[in-house]
Amino acid sequence: MSAVLAHPAWQPAQAPGARPARRRTGVRPARRGNLQLVGPGFVPQVGAPAAADGRSRAAEARSEASGRLRLTARGRGVVTALALVLATAVSVGVGALVGVAVNPAVGGETTTVTVGAGETLWSLASAVAEPGEDPRELVEHITTLNGLASSELAVGQELVVPAG
């Protein structure tokens, strides 16, 4: 039984004294005939194409053994961009949660009051408090609403206080 093996087997002979043709850069040479008739008992070379798509047996074995996903440069860029978008979304979400935890929104209606001469947080809280309500809770509430570090107020300072 005979077989046909595909590989470069024939090179054209050059005339004696002839100079080899100069290759143009960037141009691929034309393909030459690459069929060779072989006899029975022929063993193909390792790495010779075994599949119709031109992949060698060694390349097929490597791709099956590795099992890894191989990405092109564009694929790596897309994966990197998606990772950055995901990281940004997570950081915005975490930042929103931290912002709510640090500065909770206080429910209820509020109004703005301008501090006059001699007014204190206690006097403002007492003026806004309903009968029977503890002014200490309102002082703390006013401090939280305005982000005050101390109880000292300046004349003309505008404060947000609960409407009452």
Query: 99 phi and psi, to 5 degrees?
Result: -60, -40
Instruction: Say if residue 8's pLDDT is above 70.
Output: no
Residue 71's pLDDT is 85
| pLDDT classification of 35: cutoffs 50, 70, 90 | low
State which residues form the domain around 148. 110-162
Based on the domain organization, do 62 and 79 belong to the same domain?
Answer: no
In order of 26, 113, 115, 138, 159, the CA distances from 154 in angstroms are: 80, 12, 7, 19, 10
> Would 95 be classed as within a structural domain?
yes
CA 138, CA 126: separation in Å to the nearest integer?
A: 8
Structurally, the chain folds into a number of domains equal to: 3
CATH, residue 117: 3.10.350.10
CA 81, CA 88: separation in Å to the nearest integer?
A: 11
List pLDDT tens digits, range 117-160: 989 888 988 888 888 888 888 888 889 888 888 888 889 989 88
Could you tell me the pTM of the whole model?
Answer: 0.36
Unique residue bearing structure tokens 């006059």? 116
Q: Report the sign of the C-alpha dihedral through residues 91, 97, 103, 108, in that order.
A: positive
Residues of the chain with pLDDT > 70, as a percent, come to: 57
> Would 3 be classed as within a structural domain?
yes
Domain boundary among 79, 104, 129: 104
Based on the domain organization, do 93 and 114 belong to the same domain?
Answer: no
| pLDDT classification of 42: cutoffs 50, 70, 90 | confident
